[in-house]
Copies of this chain bind each other. A is one copy, B any other.
């Protein structure tokens, strides 16, 4: 006996199919460490009995997770866990992407996907303390750990002050280093709003998720030590691969 899946029941006529709910439960069990890497899942008939559903329904759930790269099924042997526990992503006053993931993933980096200049929307202007419509630079980035996307972020900077930050980001691959080129040696996370929702079409593509997944969303403002706003950002994290560790803000 290796792992223990939650025995609580599942909901019918909920708008969420039974196989999706069971897949979520298996993901959760793996995420909290109920199954070690390469551990065998209970046989399909046992899972079916535990959740009170047909074996084929369990198979649908497993098929989705195999498709997702979480499980590996071997005929005659069993079904095995491929992926490790969720990454624990730190959120704090001095959160820096790669620093906090040390020891959890052997390889990690941030990719700049697109950059553009646009007029500040209402919320971006509010966050940065600018007039609405002021030109801002938008950087779209993706954070990856061991080749899997673990975050997708959009960051906005005042265009006049940070002209060329997109090039710096491309060259250095780091927001922190890029900001240093503009004389920002230190910055703090001023405020963070946190919510969760179902992944939409953009999330599915950006984070390589399967439909029905859940994303955590943070909206935050970074400021200099003297309180001057420099960056407004919205980040999305796949809840099945990441949990957030709130440290001293």
Chain A positions near chain B (C-beta within 8 angstroms): 6, 8-11, 13-17, 19-21, 23-24, 28, 31, 64, 86, 88, 91-93, 190-198, 200-202, 204, 210-212, 214, 216, 218, 239, 243-249
Q: Are B92's CB and A249's CB within 8 A?
A: yes
CA–CA, A122 and B186, complex, Å: 39
Q: Are A243's CB and B15's CB within 8 A?
A: no
Q: Are A8's CB and B197's CB within 8 A?
A: no
Q: Are A247's CB and B15's CB within 8 A?
A: no
CA–CA, A62 and B235, complex, Å: 29
CA–CA, A139 and B14, complex, Å: 30
Known: A197-B239, A216-B194, A239-B195. A211 touches B246 (CB 8 A): no
CA–CA, A93 and B249, complex, Å: 8
Residues from chain B with a CB closer than 8 A to the CB of A197 are 24, 28, 214, 239
Residues from chain B with a CB closer than 8 A to the CB of A24 are 197-198
CA–CA, A92 and B197, complex, Å: 22
Known: A10-B201, A194-B246, A195-B239. 17 other contacts (CB 8 A): A6-B200, A8-B202, A10-B200, A11-B204, A15-B23, A15-B212, A16-B211, A21-B198, A24-B197, A191-B246, A191-B248, A194-B245, A195-B243, A196-B214, A198-B214, A246-B246, A248-B249
CA–CA, A191 and B19, complex, Å: 34
Residues from chain B with a CB closer than 8 A to the CB of A23 are 15
Residues from chain B with a CB closer than 8 A to the CB of A214 are 196-198, 214
CA–CA, A197 and B215, complex, Å: 9
Q: Are B8's CB and A14's CB within 8 A?
A: no
Residues from chain B with a CB closer than 8 A to the CB of A91 are 194, 246
Known: A197-B28, A198-B214. A248 touches B6 (CB 8 A): no
Q: Are B15's CB and A211's CB within 8 A?
A: yes
Chain B's closest residue to A20 (CB) is: B15
CA–CA, A247 and B92, complex, Å: 9
Residues from chain B with a CB closer than 8 A to the CB of A20 are 14-16
Among candidates B8, B88, B196, residue contacting A193 with C-beta atoms closer than 8 Å: B88
Smallest Cβ distance from A35 to chain B, in angstroms?
A: 16
Q: Are A248's CB and B93's CB within 8 A?
A: yes
Residues from chain B with a CB closer than 8 A to the CB of A14 are 20, 210-212
Smallest Cβ distance from A44 to chain B, in angstroms?
A: 18
The 7 tightest CB contacts between A and B, nearest first, are A14-B211, A15-B20, A196-B196, A11-B211, A192-B246, A194-B244, A195-B243
